Amino acid sequence: MRGWWWRWCRRACGGGGGVRWQQTATQALLLYLLTFCVLLPACCHRLLYSYYFLSSAYLDAMSEDALQESLRRGQEALSFWQSSPPAFTDVAPEPQLLVTVVTAPRAEGRDFHYLLQVMRRLSELLGGCGERRCAEVVLCDVDGGEGNEDAKLLRGKFHVIGGRERRREDVNTFEREKRDYAFCLRQAFRSLRPRNMVVLEDDALPRHDFFGVLADLLSRRFAAHTLYVKLYHPERLQRYWNPEPYRILEWCGLGLLGACLMLLTLPSWTFCFSHLLLLAIYVMAAVELLGRHYLLELRRLSPQLYAVSPATECCTPAILYPGDASLRAARYLDATFCSPGNAKDTLLYHLARSVAGERAHSVEPNLVSHIGAYSSIRVNPARPKLL
């Protein structure tokens, strides 16, 4: 077998002396060993989304640091809103963009004040838009403020909608969450008739380029022909080795591009199929083991570099609904029933794929950070982990 492979590689590279091919093979072996056994382990063992991450050594400490940082932001946000005057209670009708924040009471993690963190970040971003706001913001409190102390605090500072009857509903948690979400979609659109709407859950913290990227997305042609655009996908699920077909194409393309660039810089290698294949596999393995998440971060250099792809199934912390798509989404959700394993994110994903004429997209990298370590609908561990 080895003799056949050896002869084939030599023929593919135009013959050449055995000594030269042995040198190339030795160089390839050393390159693989040095990269995958020395360089990447040394550089990536602290990177959370790398295959080389040493979770047994670093996960607990990093998770605790993240919790403490979120707690600090939450307490600062609490102090900020306790002393802040009303600023966003007057909402202009028919805005170009409406941000609707959906909130419900949490049984755990109240000291982190996720909602207050999100609303403070939005107020900071809106303050940087100039005299004319780049969006209007409303708060959809599905519980009517009865058990949500953070929502009560914000009632005099933001325009608030919500308060639908929930207590008599004898349904599971996932169906109740879906009904709350659909209710907020309808109420927000009917109240203000926005041209476009973003729906944030109360633990989706916008990044600093949030509104700039949204403006660029809405200017692209695809936005007029989509049901929704997801603005978040869990980082741990962003790898190339994934069922999403477009990622496999991206992965192969990156491997070929990297291999071509390497062939231009390695004097003892030539443009032949075997050399190209060896280096393409090398590049593909390197970027996958490093972590696709870290390559996606390079796209933050400009809003125009953010990638739009077919929608992924999980999750719904932040979604853009262009035009009146929010009403269509609410109507589709009303006609379905949620259960464990079939939550609203799964329903929206399958609806967009099964309803004639509908499409759905995702944007990468994420436009929000999911800060909700303590879930409002699932059982929480004593101290949540990052992974």
pLDDT tens sequence across 117-157? 999 999 999 988 877 888 999 999 988 767 789 999 998 89
The residue that leads in pLDDT, 4 or 200, is 200
The pLDDT value given to residue 18: 57
pLDDT in tens, 34-49: 999 999 999 999 999 9
Out of 136-145, 163-172, 179-188, 358-367, which region has the weakest mean confidence (pLDDT)?
163-172
Q: Residue 13 — very low, low, confident or very high, per pLDDT cuts 50/70/90? A: low
DSSP string, 247-286: HHHHHHHHHHHHHHHHHHH-TT--SSHHHHHHHHHHHHHH
* pLDDT band (50, 70, 90) for residue 1: very low
Q: What is the pLDDT, as a whole number, of residue 4?
A: 52
Average pLDDT over residues 241-264: 91
CB 355 within 8 A of CB 332: yes
Instruction: Tell me if 322 sits within 8 A of 223, measured CB to CB.
Output: yes
Burial class (CB in 10 A: 0-12, 13-18, 19+), 334: middle
* pLDDT tier for residue 164 given thresholds of 50, 70 and 90: low
User: What gap in Å lies between CA 72 and CA 353, rounded to an integer?
Assistant: 41
Q: In the block, which residue shows the tokens 């049984």?
A: 107
pLDDT at 58: 97
Please check the confidence at residue 113 and state whether its pLDDT lies above 50.
yes
**Amino acid, single-letter form, for residue 33:** L
For residue 379, give Cα distances in angstroms to 113, 196, 372, 384, 386: 19, 34, 13, 11, 16
Higher pLDDT, 15 or 181: 181
With 0.85 as the threshold, say if the pTM is over it.
Answer: yes
Q: What is the mean pLDDT of the chain?
A: 90
What the chain holds in terms of domains, given with CATH numbers, is 26-83 (no CATH), 84-237+297-368 (3.90.550.10)
Give the per-residue pLDDT at 28: 87
Q: What's the half-sphere exposure (Cβ side, CA atoms, 13 Å) at 112?
A: 23
What are 291-349's pLDDT values in tens digits? Answer: 999 999 999 999 999 999 999 988 999 999 999 999 999 999 999 999 988 999 999 99
